Amino acid sequence: MTVRTRGYGLGFSIILTLASTLLWGVAHLAADRRKTGLALMVAHVVMLAMILTVITVFGSKLLPLAVQPAWLTAFAIMIATIAIIWTGVVIWSYMLVRPAPVNRVGRAVTSALTIALCALILTPAIYAARVTYVSRDVVNSLFTANVSPVVSQDPWDGAKRINLLLLGADAAPGRPGVRTDSMTVASVDVATGATILLGLPRNLQRVRLPEGPPRERFPDGFTGAGPETPGLLNEVFQYAEDYPEMEPGIRKGQRGPTLLKKTISGILGIPITYYTMVDMKGFAQIIDAMGGVTVTIKEPIVYGKYREGLLRPGTRKLSGADALWFGRSRTDSDDYVRMGRQKCLLNAVAKQADPVTVLNSFEKLAVATKRAISTDIPQNVLPDLVELAQRVKANKIKSLSFVPPLINTVYPDWSLIRREVTRALADHGPSTTPPHATPQTPSPETPIALDSACR
């Protein structure tokens, strides 16, 4: 590369270097490198136009790509390539228009400016590549690569609703195993995103287990590990983990989710497609990584074995530890009040996890998420789930909780539960509430209402 022998003044050199950073080729045109300058300009304008077009026209389609490892890798390579080329153009431009050798001060100033401009380009590129790498690691860590078959034109294989089991696990100190103290099925209409949450209490007794070894061992309903215990629904998960014969052929760590999915599917009378479990302690770490979560506390919440803690009423930002007690405490209340607070907490986290918050604490959130969440959702379903989630956001989420007085948790009426589920899904489906229509009021017999815990 031949560089012009005459130098430029300090001011002119700074202007051309800055201009070439904003629009490639300006310095080359000034240095009579017309063909190269025009080629660089065209390349820069085309690249910027393509990026702008992708963001504005296809912006809504980009989010599903963020959960696909192959696309994340391609994105990281693209960012690195653009940053390297851009940095090279800036350095090349500086070499063409830098002050004459005799102007040592001018050269020092323009050299420092060029280094700063290169850093300005490389720093966000390195950060973006890092975020992409961490995202890829989270996807590969959380979601199995053993993909399930997906029909190309219909990812849900003809199903009108997809039912996801959402579990909140509480592995408290001094208590062996995991107890699924929060069990909710999110039933989502795949066409409209209309969603209803079906909540089951932890203390549901005499649960009918699915046919096979579980039903053979407990023909009259689940009674737990011994005759002296009642056998609650929240013990099914750990029981399957402790007794491999309950789910033969299923590896440890998946026996509990498998049996619980089948059991809850039988209770509600609907198929459970996938599950996601959040460890409550890990959930607290996610909240701390976010910088806390703001909720409105309606009544004083006492917590601790010896009532040593108190969350006062009012709207306040909770740390992870306080939020954990907000969702866990049953002191001076009961399981059903706690269920409402847990939904409130999840709703608050979802609303407050805005893009800025996520990016500012991305790595901390990623580490906490890997520790806190487990699921059987396969990677090839993620893009469609992301698109479905966008439709869910456009709808009001309703909830139906099977708690007293609707049901007796000791002697549940399983037929009643199934009838209520069938009626709730029918009232909440597209035939009743089509897109862009005003939601109809459920009949008095159907106990469906917007969750009021967060109002």
pLDDT at residue 303, as a whole number: 76
pLDDT at residue 428, as a whole number: 65
Bridge partners, residue 342, by sequence: none
pLDDT at residue 157, as a whole number: 76
pLDDT at residue 60, as a whole number: 64
Exposure of 44 in the CB half-sphere (CA atoms within 13 A): 20
- List of the chain residues with pLDDT < 70: 1-7, 58-60, 146-154, 171-176, 225-229, 304-307, 332, 354-357, 359-360, 428-455
Place of tokens 């993620």: 382
Domain ranges of the chain: 10-142
Residues near 290 by Cβ (< 8 Å), separated by ≥ 6?
Answer: 349, 352, 353, 357, 361, 365
Task: List, in sequence order, every beta strand (DSSP E) within 104-201.
Answer: 161-170, 179-189, 195-200
Bridge partners, residue 309, by sequence: 303
pLDDT at residue 390, as a whole number: 80
Question: What is the rounded CA–CA span in Å between residue 64 and residue 80?
Answer: 21
SS3 string of 342-379?
HHHHHHHHHHHCCHHHHHHCHHHHHHHHHHHEEECCEH
- For the chain, what is the radius of gyration of the CA atoms? 29
Bridge partners, residue 12, by sequence: none
Please work out, in degrees rounded to the nearest 5, the angle formed at the alpha carbon of residue 128 by the alpha carbons of 124 and 134.
145
15 closest CA partner among 158, 113, 147, 103:
113
Q: Which two three-digit tokens encode residue 153? A: 């034109």
For 373-410, write each residue's pLDDT tens digit.
Answer: 889 998 888 888 888 888 887 787 888 889 889 999 99
Q: In sequence order, what DSSP letters do the residues of 228-268 get, joined into one string?
A: TS--BGGGHHHHHHH-GGGSTTPPTTTHHHHHHHHHHHHHH
Question: What is the rounded CA–CA span in Å between residue 200 and residue 400?
Answer: 9
DSSP H/E element including 340: helix 335-352
424 closest CA partner among 197, 163, 218:
197
pLDDT at residue 147, as a whole number: 54
439 closest CA partner among 452, 429, 425:
429
